[in-house]
Amino acid sequence: MRVAIIAGARPNFVKIAPLMKAIAAAPSITPILVHTGQHYDHSMSDQFFTDLDIPSADFNLGVGSGTHAVQTAEVMQRLEPVLQDCKPDIVVVVGDVNSTVAAALTAVKLGIRVAHVEAGLRSFDRTMPEEINRIVTDAISDLLFVSEESGCTNLHREGVAKGKVYFVGNVMIDALEMSRPRWSRSRITARIGLEPGAAYALLTLHRPSNADDPKVLESLIGALRTVARRLPILFPVHPRVRRLLAESDGVTWRALDGGSTLPGSGLFCLDPLGYLDFIALMSGARLVLTDSGGVQEETTILGVPCLTLRHNTERPVTVTHGTNRIVGTDPTIIIDAAVRALEDPTRKHATPPLWDGKAGDRIVSVVLNDAPDTLFDAGTAEARA
């Protein structure tokens, strides 16, 4: 069986790593890995392939940056001849970036079956480009692999036939667990200059709704500067956000391996980190503040308090089972929630159903039609033989 796996952006690379590992253990599958080039910076692409032991891509489309329309169109235009030449039996897409929907559209128009990994997630906010990508990809996919029970509920509400939906668990957690021996050895805190055992918070911020409006961004930075008076906040900056922060007051750019000890307070901007260093930093944080979906999932498994700087989440299990709280973008609420989380970090949390590091294996079983009698019940959290 020829299986084409399409990835284009940093979160995609994390999700395909467990899939590539599971496929490597299935001799009846010939994988075809296509990198669209949506993310192309070394720290956002090559470093992830190295950190996660992902084999080199068979094809790199070199799409690069652009508007949503331009980027989606470029992926479709460049991917079509690759699929026509390789003739895969199925195309696997992951996540919700422009490369995801573009690859799904291209494949389905060529009559190739499509499998969507991380299907069914909904924020119910159509101003988010990712929400549109999720809805369209799910609507045209043949196999829908769901990471949490809300995804099953959403797809059933949208009229998707149950036979298409498989509740398999979360490949993001597969990646975290299979790389744990490596990220636990990271020396990133020493490289930043943190004293052993020093408290710190970790920040990620890249959503257009937060980062593209200077007034919103400045308001958020102001709130974070207040929180940073209590402990240092480490902020690995996405390349597209860097230029927006260049003239912001109250932030300090911190070089890795700078040699000096990090002060006990302040907001410190870092270059983007590789996967292993980033997870290591997250695992030791007192608090994580983010607008990223994947980070909400990772903090849930790591047991680290997480404040989501958005008004919604497409991953509600991180709130019901995990350590995540949705706090929005109001500075007063952010500051209050951060202070309370730092003063009382204890919060009961549980591992969401099927987040056990085996999602990739389940997906491959279904793709090979080797799952015993509807292996996964899309309506419950339990696998059934």
Identify whether the C-beta of residue 133 lies closer than 8 Å to the C-beta of residue 99.
no
Residues 63, 67, 68, 70, CA torsion sign: negative
Copy the structure tokens of residue 126: 């159509």
Contacts for 330 with CB less than 8 Å, ≥ 6 apart: none
What is the rounded distance in angstroms from the CA atom of residue 40 to the CA atom of residue 120?
28
What is the rounded distance in angstroms from the CA atom of residue 121 to the CA atom of residue 172?
14
Copy the structure tokens of residue 22: 């599971």
Of residues 367, 379, 378, the one with CA closest to residue 92: 367
Catalytic residues: 206
Contacts for 174 with CB less than 8 Å, ≥ 6 apart: 17, 18, 357, 358, 359, 360
| Helix 275-283 / helix 293-302 crossing angle, nearest 10 deg | 50
Torsion-angle region of residue 57: left (phi > 0), alpha (psi -120 to 50) or beta? beta
